Amino acid sequence: MKDPVLYTNACIWRDDSYDPGIRAVYCRDGLIESFFSENDVFPAQCQVIDLKGACLYPGFIDTHTHSFEGGLYSDGLDLSAFQSIPDILEAIRIKRRSIHAQGGNVLIAWGLDENLIREKRFPSLKELDEVCDDIPLLLRRIDGHSCVINSRLKIMMMHSGIKLLKQAVYRGNDNDVIGHWFHAQCNEETVIQAYSRAAEQAMKGGFTTVHSMIGDALNSITHYALIRDRLSQFPVEFILYPQSLNMDAAIEVGATRIGGCILADGSIGSKTAALSEPYLGTPENKGKLYHTNEFWSGFISRAHHTGLQAAIHCIGDRAISQINDIYLRLHQTDPKELRHQLIHCELTPDPLVERIAASSAVCVMQPAFDLHWGGEDGLYSRSLGEVRSRQMNRFKTLRSSGITVTGGSDWYVTELDVRFGLQGAICHHNPVERLNAGGAIDLYTRSAARLSHDESRLGRIALGYQADFTIMSSSIKDNDEKRSVGESACDFDSLQVLAVVKKGRIVYDRYARYR
C-alpha cells in the first residue's frame, strides 16, 4: 500500500454519532491528516480506497485479554459446545490422535462449563486417563479458575518437585501453579506463534489494539521481555501487562503498569468470588478473599508510589471493596493520574458504585459475560439470586456515576470479537443497564484509550490521531429498553468486520475487497 491513503465513501463515526458532514479521511504517515465531504475535491497523488458506504469506526481496543493463552488454546480443544462427558471424552480421544500424528506433546482442552453439560461435573481422573494416558492433558474451566488434569501431567509435575493437593478439581493456587507449569513447557517459537495467532484473531474480531496479560499471576512475568522486544512485528498493537505480584521484575523490564488477573478473589462459576452475602443455596459459602487487606495495601501502595498503574482481578462485591478501598485511600492522600484498574468489577451494589466513583478507579469490564451468564436462568441468577443478578455488570449505572468503564473480552474466556462485547452492552439482560450504541462504542474506543493514557493518540477519528480504523458492514444501532435480549434492534448476526486499518494501512481485509 502506498502512502498517503484516502478512505472515501464511508459512513464515519465521530465520538458520539455518525458525522454526515464528512465522507472521506485522508491519512499520511500513519496519522489522520484531513477530512473531506462529499462535494470536496480530493487530493491528487494518493491511494484512494472506496469503502462503498461501509461504516468506519476508530480502531476498537480490547482492554483485557490473555493473548498468549488464547493464541495457544486456539490450537487446542474447545469444549464449549459439548453437552455430555462421553462426548467430551470422545473429542479428547480424537484430539490426542491428531496431536500424535502432528508430533505434538501436550493436549490442552478449555472452555468447559460443567453447569451446561448433562452430568454437571468435570470428567474424573480415571475417565481422562482412559482416553489420554501418554501425553499431559490440561482441561480448564471456561473462566480459567479451575481445572482437571490427567495422571501423566500429575506425574510430570511431581517429577519437577511440585506437590498438588489431593483433589478432583483444582482451584485457587493449585489451578494457577498447574497453568503456569503447563505454559512454561512452551519454547520461544511456540510463544511467538501464540501471539501471532492472537493478532490474527484480534483483527478478525475488529481490534487494532489489544491489552495483553503476560505472566503466571504469582511471581513470574514469563515472556514479557520476549514480546516487548518484538512488538513491531505484529499487525496489531499489544499493550503489555506484567501479570505478576513481582514488582521488582515489572520495574526491571520498564513496565508502566503491573497486574492483570492477579486475583483478589475467584469467579462466580467456581463459587470463589468473594461476596458480602453467601451464595444461593450454600449459606456457609461467601467465596474467598485470596489475600489480606495488609497484603494488598502494601502491594498497591508500592505500585502507586512507584508510579505504576495497578490492575487487579476482583469480581465479588467483597473483593471489589477490598481493592477499591485502597485505591480510594491513595486517591485521597496522594492523588495521581495512574487510573488504577478494577478488572471485571461484576457485582456492584449502589453504595459500592459511589465508592468506586470516589476512588477514580477504572472498571475494566466484559460485556460478553452478560450474554453468557446473565438472564433469569443464567449462572448469575442461579448462584446469586434475582436481586444480586441485577447488580451484575452495571455498565449504565457505573458510567452515569462518572466512572470510566472499558470493554474487554478476557479472551480466551469469551471470544476476541468486538461484536459480542457491543451486543452484551447494548442488549444487556437487565434493560436498565443497557448502553446505547454510542456508549457501547465508547467502551472500546475513547474510554479504552484513556485506560492506557493514550487518549490523545488512540480511540477517536480526529485530526492528528493515529489512523487506526475498524470498517464494518453496517451501522451499530441503539436498543430499546422494552426489547428482550433475543430481539435486538441491531442485527448482530449480520454485522461483519470487513477490514481493519492500522496506522493508515489495511492489515486485515476479510473479502480481499480493498486491495
- CB of residue 259 to Zn ion, shortest distance in Å: 10
Distance CA 262, CA 258 (A): 9
Question: Of all residues in this chain, which one has the CB nearest to Zn ion in the complex?
Answer: 261
| Selected range binding Zn ion among 71-79, 385-393, 408-416, 487-495, rule: CB under 5 A | 408-416
Residues 12-31 that bind Zn ion (CB under 5 A): none
Q: Which stretch binds Zn ion (CB under 5 A): 36-44, 47-55, 76-84, 261-269?
A: 261-269
Q: Does 433 bind Zn ion (CB under 5 A)?
A: no
Closest to 353 measured CA to CA, from 308, 394, 384: 394
Q: Is 63 exposed, middle or buried (0-12, 13-18, 19+ CB in 10 A)?
A: buried
Query: Of the ranges 7-15, 113-121, 364-372, 409-417, which one interacts with Zn ion (CB under 5 A)?
Result: 409-417
User: Element (H or E) spanning 280, and its range?
Assistant: none
User: At closest approach, how far in Å is the CB of 440 from Zn ion?
Assistant: 20
Q: How many CB atoms lie within 10 A of CB 134?
A: 12
Cis upstream peptide for 412 (omega within 30°): yes
Q: Which residue, 58 or 260, is less far from Zn ion as judged by CB? A: 260
Question: From the CB of 310, what's the least distance to Zn ion, in Å?
Answer: 14
CB 243 to Zn ion: min, Å = 8
Among 24, 88, 191, 261, binds Zn ion (CB under 5 A): 261
Q: For residue 258, what are the contacts with CB-CB under 8 A and spacing of at least 6?
A: 241, 242, 244, 247, 250, 303, 308, 309, 310, 311
Residue range at the interface with Zn ion (CB under 5 A); choices 97-105, 111-119, 313-321, 441-449 = 313-321
Cell of 280: 444461593
Q: Does 313 bind Zn ion (CB under 5 A)?
A: yes
In whole angstroms, what separates CA 312 from the centre of its chain? 13
Using the minimum distance from each CB to Zn ion, give the nearer residue, 89 or 177: 177
Instruction: In whole angstroms, give the CA distance from residue 140 to residue 149.
Output: 9
Question: Going residue by residue from 273 to 312, which x/- string records binding to Zn ion, judged by CB under 5 A?
Answer: ----------------------------------------
Shortest distance, position 65 Cβ to Zn ion, whole Å: 8
73-76: long-range pairs with CB below 8 Å, 24+: 73/108, 73/110, 73/412, 74/197, 74/201, 74/412, 75/197, 76/107, 76/108, 76/109, 76/110
CB of 28 to Zn ion, least distance (A): 37
C-alpha distances in Å from residue 411, one per residue of 93, 174, 303, 341, 380: 26, 21, 26, 18, 20
Q: Strands 309-314 and 257-263: what pairing?
A: parallel
Return the number of the residue (58 or 179) whose C-beta is nearest Zn ion: 179
Instruction: Figure out which of the listed residues 174, 410, 415, 433 binds Zn ion, where binding follows CB under 5 A.
Output: 410
CA distance 174 to 162: 10
Residue 176 makes contact with Zn ion by CB under 5 A: no
Helix axes 172-184, 151-159, angle to 10 degrees: 80
With contacts defined by CB under 5 A, name the span among 164-172, 235-243, 325-333, 402-410 that binds Zn ion.
402-410
State in angstroms the smallest separation of the CB of 92 from Zn ion: 25
Cβ 110 vs Cβ 147: under 8 Å: no
Residues that bind Zn ion (CB under 5 A): 261, 313, 410
